[in-house]
Amino acid sequence: MGEFTIEITPSLINQLLDDGQKSKRRTRTKTKASQRSQPKIDQKQISDDSGKEKGATGTAWPVQPPLFLPVPPPVYPTTSELDAIKSIVRESEMVVEKLRKQEESMVQEVTQKAKDLHEKEFKIPEPKPMPCLAENDALMSCYKENSNDLMKCAQLAMHFADCARRVRQLVGSADK
């Protein structure tokens, strides 16, 4: 089936109007129809439209778009095309499923690594009590009370020194 278009022009409209009427009325109707179909154009517009086709009066004919556009007949896919499309859809679904599984495994892996990092996170250890704290406190209070005669605190200073020596020995033996 071939494609075609119909262009409706003012002359076609006049011809169709004239066919149904008498010859006497034809001239009057023709005049009225031609006056209605021609737009009023001032002299300035005529000089601007010099490249357009001019009618008998010197005015440019209005360009009328076609009233309808041709519609091509529908194109139906063949069986082989449908099979190819179905095959592509199946392959796409398989790829999507594969990606979904891959995403799930990656989410599990990232979650596990996050848990591991959280467990290995540096935590401040509980502070150990300062060794020889009692000896140190006793020596400091003695120094405050006897600031003029520090020799009174000599015995407490020796106890503190002995305690510190013992702690150093324990720490040194633990490193070996």
The per-residue b/e assignment along 150-171, b for 16 or more CB within 10 angstroms, e otherwise, is: eeebeebbebbeebeeeeeeee
104 shares its domain with 171 = no
Are both 108 and 170 inside the same structural domain? no
Residue 128 in any domain: the answer is no
Q: Residue 10: pLDDT band by 50, 70, 90 thresholds?
A: confident
Interval 90-104 mean pLDDT: 95
- 100 located within any domain: yes
Say yes or no to pLDDT of 82 above 80: yes
Domain boundary among 39, 54, 75: 75
Does 12 lie in the same domain as 64? yes
Instruction: Give the count of domains, the chain.
Output: 3
Residues 137 and 111 reside in one and the same domain: no
Q: What per-residue confidence (pLDDT) applies to 7? A: 76
The predicted-structure confidence for 39-72, as pLDDT tens digits, reads as follows 454 444 444 444 444 545 556 667 766 666 677 7
Q: Residue 59 has what pLDDT?
A: 63
Largest CA distance in the chain: 150
**In a shared domain, residues 169 and 153:** yes
Of 151, 152, 174, 154, nearest to 162 by C-alpha is: 154
d(CA 18, CA 35): 15
Do 70 and 90 reside in the same domain of the chain? no
pLDDT of residue 113: 92
Q: Are residue 2 and residue 38 in the same domain, yes or no?
A: yes
Please give the full DSSP string across 31-83, using - where no structure is assigned.
Answer: HHHHHHHSPP--HHHHHHTTTS-B-TTSPBPPP---SS---PPP-PPPHHHHH
Structural domain boundaries, residue 117: 81-121
